[in-house]
Amino acid sequence: MLTCSRSVLILILVLLTPLSLFAPAQQGTRERVDLLVRGGIVITMDQNARVIEDGAVAVRGGRIVAVGQSASVDATYVADAEIDARGKAVIPGLINGHTHVPMTLFRGLADDLDLNEWLTKYIFPAEAKNVTEDFVRVGTRLALAEMIRGGTTTFCDMYYFENAVAEETAKAGVRGVLGETVIDFPVPDNKTYAEGLAYTERFIKRWQGHRLVTPAVAPHAPYTVSEEHLRAAHALANRTNAPLIIHVAETRKEVEDITKAKGVRPIEYLARIGFLNQRTIAAHVVHITDEEIAILKRYGVGVVHNPQSNMKLASGVAPVPQMLAADLAIGLGTDGAASNNDLNLWEEIDTVAKLHKVFSGNPRAIPARAAFEMATARGARALHMEGEIGSLETGKRADLVIVDMDRLHQTPRYDIYSQLVYATKAADVRTVIIEGRVVMRDGRLLTLNEEEVRQQAQSFRERIARSVSQKD
Amino acid sequence: MLTCSRSVLILILVLLTPLSLFAPAQQGTRERVDLLVRGGIVITMDQNARVIEDGAVAVRGGRIVAVGQSASVDATYVADAEIDARGKAVIPGLINGHTHVPMTLFRGLADDLDLNEWLTKYIFPAEAKNVTEDFVRVGTRLALAEMIRGGTTTFCDMYYFENAVAEETAKAGVRGVLGETVIDFPVPDNKTYAEGLAYTERFIKRWQGHRLVTPAVAPHAPYTVSEEHLRAAHALANRTNAPLIIHVAETRKEVEDITKAKGVRPIEYLARIGFLNQRTIAAHVVHITDEEIAILKRYGVGVVHNPQSNMKLASGVAPVPQMLAADLAIGLGTDGAASNNDLNLWEEIDTVAKLHKVFSGNPRAIPARAAFEMATARGARALHMEGEIGSLETGKRADLVIVDMDRLHQTPRYDIYSQLVYATKAADVRTVIIEGRVVMRDGRLLTLNEEEVRQQAQSFRERIARSVSQKD
């Protein structure tokens, strides 16, 4: 070896030289990827808020391997499949941070009522009489189809028969953070809190590590679950390293009741019993003080704001500008379709931007980009998934949505965020990709049979309507 | 004759007997109509709020000649053309009570700004540099196309080159109450207030009596038009029997300024100078007292509420529940697309129902039907056109819209008003008929070339964008 010639040494050096030094030669050796989405306006929602005109996203193994100019991505990658996004926007999949998908079957069952009357006279009786595993599957499929159509790729859910929700979600290829609701009264699938928590433990064991489904622990609310039971839920979440979802500070009455019973406000109470941590996801959070905002920030809690549900049920207006000023991890949710009445994130984005302007008297309160961020990058933080979703960046899950940008109501276009937030509708979504898999292509659902989903949902209508009109 | 036989007498009696006694024989003598829309769920919005499952509407000469069960209308009428509305809703055409259609070309040009900065730094300069007759025609066509797509059949507009707006509106077959904005500073087509008023007089002469276009007098606002000029506008409206449109009480600042200058609040001021009557249409009306509500009621003024514009510009929340309690003639408007950013009445209906619930703390504040009425029957009253439009009733203009009711986001259906208000979107509109003429059939525009409209609008983009980025 010591006697090898100079030419052999040169050959060895050449072989060791990285390919990148021979850029023009690279064309023939482009890396193979599964899918290339090219030619669109790529709204990355990354930390620099990069917007790439004529951009491309390369996907392999369910993850994003490159985001950049179409020309430069083309030079590096060759794909098994391509999607032409010219003239369209390519955005991160939208994140619905709080919902109850099976309740979609109750859409419009009872509206314009006081929260208490709505719950006790309609929703609770309707649930007691109708919620079966079959109901949950049909309602979940209806919700999944509606969410995919509107460009939602991740949702956070709490309901009953959550194992059925998870199975349907995985089958449809949608991403979910899912928790069985545990509560201090009998529910359709669990007669006691202990049974509910045991169900949750089995549920977590079954789903943890799944590419799409993240199982969670989901005690209903501080006013429906005892302190002991909240502590038990928290312990289970700690032991399993699972997200911990809860409704909190939704109504003024809840704040009054908790303050009376516990001597402190709901967020303070949850902090005191050790419930808050970096896996907690708090839904609603309407009636809170500056001190409670500081607590949420200190513990790294994720918050999900549901503007349209809070409006329709007259729950109140959350101090969202203040929460954003504190850089809280705050996302957007639709809540269940029974209190909204749809699962349309675009309307929540539009509403969050407008509602807080008029409520604060400040037309700059939540600008378009900040509103859009709540349904994407900041929404991912609210679910503690910012490492995986919420932006189009190399290494993240390939959840992306292609949206028409040239419809009448989007013409002309000056600012891309303004157009996305104030003018774009769910019906403008064309193609949806989750974990690298195309689940809707050019308006056609690929993982669900839309006609069957609708017929099955409609078939529950009669029974449900009868169940709330009858006295029992 | 006196000797005629008994059989001849019987024959005469039979001939004199009304045909209705021989129902089966009537089929051969059915009345001919131009158009029959049949099989849909007809939401009449008449005084009894009749909803007819499997209903039909018969149209002749641009007017509704019958509304009823499909079977009974079939028995009486035979049509040259039929539209099958099975499984769909048939509703009165929606009424956009306040907008500035050419401003659609400014959609998203400048958002999330203080009203003053928005107007003085962006909108006024953009108008000064861009608004020509051609601009107005292109912007109007874009707006008309978007409005037809969303089921709006009547709109009330104030802008410049309103004669061009009227020509485009008539050509597209849409109904409009249209007024040239007159204001105390030079505008693109009129250098003085006097010129503006003279333009208006010619405009009224040209269009009055047109089937679709109702010409109006449109002084901008109490803070931009002097008392003398407001009186002159009012006198012209009186002399010509034309509607009188004005912006009023939109912002807190306006109320302060008028109160300071005139010693009374804006509505009181307009009452004092004799401006208010049964042809007045007052847009916005956000900051008003109970006494001012009583004044509006006493004079029979029409009011147009613009919830999304008021939210986005942080103008304030109008006391709509109180105005409804006083049974004011209050409708809904989108305002211009520069402050909304679309011309989508469905979102205004959804928003008006939700906004006033949370703002009043009362989830019953504006129920679904009341919200829908604001865009139909009550909206017609706001424009003083309740004898002509706003409901599906015999004798009214044949402005009707056929809407999908079986989309995913509308499934299942329990209550038709809930579904229309909280779940239905502009994109669900299938067919639009104005004055008996089909202007959109199954999603295809028939009176406007959509592709051309979009291209022409987009061609204005560069120049407009440049005009606000340059310092002059």
The ipTM, to two decimals, is 0.93
Residues of B in contact with A406 (CB under 8 A): 454
Q: Chain A closest CA to B88's CA: distance in Å?
A: 15
What is the Cα–Cα distance from A95 to A322, expressed in whole angstroms?
22
Cβ neighbours around B71 below 10 Å, total:
11
| Interchain CB distance below 8 Å, B411 and A367 | no
Given B344, B423, B458, which is nearest A409 (Cβ)?
B344
| Interchain CB distance below 8 Å, B146 and A365 | no
Given B341, B343, B425, which is nearest A427 (Cβ)?
B425
Domain boundaries, given as residue ranges, for chain A: 93-384
What is the Cα–Cα distance from A17 to A372, expressed in whole angstroms?
44
Q: Chain B closest CA to A250's CA: distance in Å?
A: 13
Q: Chain B closest CA to A397's CA: distance in Å?
A: 27
What local confidence, expressed as pLDDT, does residue A427 receive?
A: 98
Mean pLDDT on B95-107: 98
What local confidence, expressed as pLDDT, does residue B11 receive?
A: 55
Residues of B in contact with A362 (CB under 8 A): 314
pLDDT band at B2 (very low <50, low <70, confident <90, very high): very low
Q: Chain A closest CA to B261's CA: distance in Å?
A: 24
Given A355, A368, A454, which is nearest B112 (Cβ)?
A368
Instruction: For domain B93-387, give its CATH number from 3.40.1080.10, 3.40.50.10540, 3.40.50.300, 3.20.20.140.
Output: 3.20.20.140
Instruction: For domain A93-384, give its CATH number from 3.40.50.970, 2.40.50.140, 3.20.20.140, 3.40.50.1220.
Output: 3.20.20.140
Closest residue of A to B421, CA-based? Answer: A341
Burial class, B321, CB count within 10 angstroms (exposed 0-12 / middle 13-18 / buried 19+): middle
Closest residue of A to B142, CA-based? Answer: A408
What local confidence, expressed as pLDDT, does residue B18 receive?
A: 46
Given A112, A422, A464, which is nearest B341 (Cβ)?
A422
Q: Which amino acid is at A431?
A: T
| Interchain CB distance below 8 Å, A111 and B464 | no
Closest residue of A to B466, CA-based? Answer: A414
With CA atoms as reference, report the closest residue to A246 among A220, A217, A267, A223: A220
Mean pLDDT on A443-449: 98
pLDDT band at A29 (very low <50, low <70, confident <90, very high): confident
Min mean pLDDT across A378-392, B24-38, B136-150 is at B24-38
A contact test, residue of B149, B320, B408 with most A CBs within 10 A: B408
Tell me: pLDDT of B10 over 70.
no
pLDDT single digits (tens) A57-71:
999 999 999 999 999
Contacts 24+ apart (CB under 8 A), A56-59: A57/A90, A57/A392, A57/A398, A57/A400, A58/A33, A59/A33, A59/A34, A59/A35, A59/A398, A59/A433, A59/A436
pLDDT band at B306 (very low <50, low <70, confident <90, very high): very high
What Cα–Cα distance (Å) separates residue A337 from each residue in A105, A292, B74? 8, 29, 39
What local confidence, expressed as pLDDT, does residue B437 receive?
A: 98
Residues of B in contact with A112 (CB under 8 A): 353, 357, 363-364, 367-368
Q: Residues near B30 by Cβ (< 8 Å), separated by ≥ 6?
A: B75, B76, B77, B78
Residues of A in contact with B453 (CB under 8 A): 408
Q: Chain B closest CA to A464's CA: distance in Å?
A: 9
Mean pLDDT on B426-432: 98
A contact test, residue of B354, B360, B453, B455 with most A CBs within 10 A: B354
Tell me: pLDDT of B460 over 90.
yes
| Interchain CB distance below 8 Å, A465 and B315 | no
The SS3 of residue B190 is: strand
Residues of A in contact with B425 (CB under 8 A): 425-427
Cβ neighbours around A7 below 10 Å, total:
8
| Interchain CB distance below 8 Å, B425 and A425 | yes
Closest residue of A to B147, CA-based? Answer: A409
pLDDT band at B29 (very low <50, low <70, confident <90, very high): confident
Closest residue of B to A344, CA-based? Answer: B409
Mean pLDDT on A4-21: 51
| Interchain CB distance below 8 Å, B111 and A347 | no
pLDDT single digits (tens) B430-452:
999 999 999 999 999 999 999 99
With CA atoms as reference, report the closest residue to A181 among A127, A130, A129: A127
Q: What's the longest Cα–Cα distance across chain B?
A: 102
Q: Chain A closest CA to B79's CA: distance in Å?
A: 33
Closest residue of A to B116, CA-based? Answer: A363
Given B314, B357, B427, which is nearest A357 (Cβ)?
B314
**pTM of this prediction?**
0.93
The SS3 of residue A281 is: strand
Tell me: pLDDT of B362 over 60.
yes
Residues of B in contact with A415 (CB under 8 A): 108-109, 111
Tell me: pLDDT of B329 over 50.
yes
Residues of B in contact with A343 (CB under 8 A): 409
Closest residue of A to B344, CA-based? Answer: A409
Cβ neighbours around B26 below 10 Å, total:
13
What local confidence, expressed as pLDDT, does residue B9 receive?
A: 52
Tell me: pLDDT of B115 over 90.
no
What would the two tokens of residue A314 be?
């007259």
Mean pLDDT on A369-397: 98
Closest residue of B to A145, CA-based? Answer: B408
What Cα–Cα distance (Å) separates residue B114 from each residue in A373, B234, B246, B308, B420? 22, 31, 22, 15, 33
| Percentage of chain A lying above the pLDDT 90 cut | 89
Residues of B in contact with A341 (CB under 8 A): 418-419, 422-423
Q: Per-residue DSSP letters for B398-419?
A: --EEEEE--SGGG-S-S-HHHI
pLDDT band at A1 (very low <50, low <70, confident <90, very high): very low
pLDDT band at A325 (very low <50, low <70, confident <90, very high): very high
Given A353, A408, A460, which is nearest B149 (Cβ)?
A408
What would the two tokens of residue A18 be?
């990285």
| Interchain CB distance below 8 Å, B461 and A408 | no
Residues of B in contact with A355 (CB under 8 A): 311, 355
| Interchain CB distance below 8 Å, A365 and B415 | no
Given A114, A406, A453, which is nearest B454 (Cβ)?
A406
B contact test, residue of A138, A149, A422 with most B CBs within 10 A: A422
Closest residue of A to B141, CA-based? Answer: A408
pLDDT band at A19 (very low <50, low <70, confident <90, very high): very low
Tell me: pLDDT of B20 over 60.
no
Write the Ramachandran bin of B174: left for phi over 0, alpha for psi from -120 to 50, otherwise beta.
beta
| Interchain CB distance below 8 Å, A311 and B360 | no
Q: Per-residue DSSP letters for A50-113?
A: -EEEEEEEEEETTEEEEEEEHHHHHHHEEEEEEEE-TTEEEEEPEEEEEE-GGGGGGTTSS-S-
Q: What is the DSSP letter of A20?
A: G
Cβ-based contacts under 8 A for chains A and B: 197
What is the Cα–Cα distance from A171 to B395, expressed in whole angstroms?
54
Residues of B in contact with A413 (CB under 8 A): 108, 461
| Interchain CB distance below 8 Å, A412 and B461 | yes
Tell me: pLDDT of B5 over 60.
no
Closest residue of B to A308, CA-based? Answer: B354
What local confidence, expressed as pLDDT, does residue A22 receive?
A: 42
Tell me: pLDDT of A184 over 70.
yes
- Integer distance in angstroms from the first to the last C-alpha of chain A? 94
| Percentage of chain A lying above the pLDDT 70 cut | 93
With CA atoms as reference, report the closest residue to B467 among B94, B130, B48, B76: B130
Task: Indicate the average pLDDT of chain B.
Answer: 94
Instruction: For domain B18-86, give its CATH number from 3.30.70.120, 3.10.450.50, 2.30.40.10, 1.10.287.3510.
Output: 2.30.40.10
Tell me: pLDDT of B240 over 50.
yes
Residues of A in contact with B105 (CB under 8 A): 412
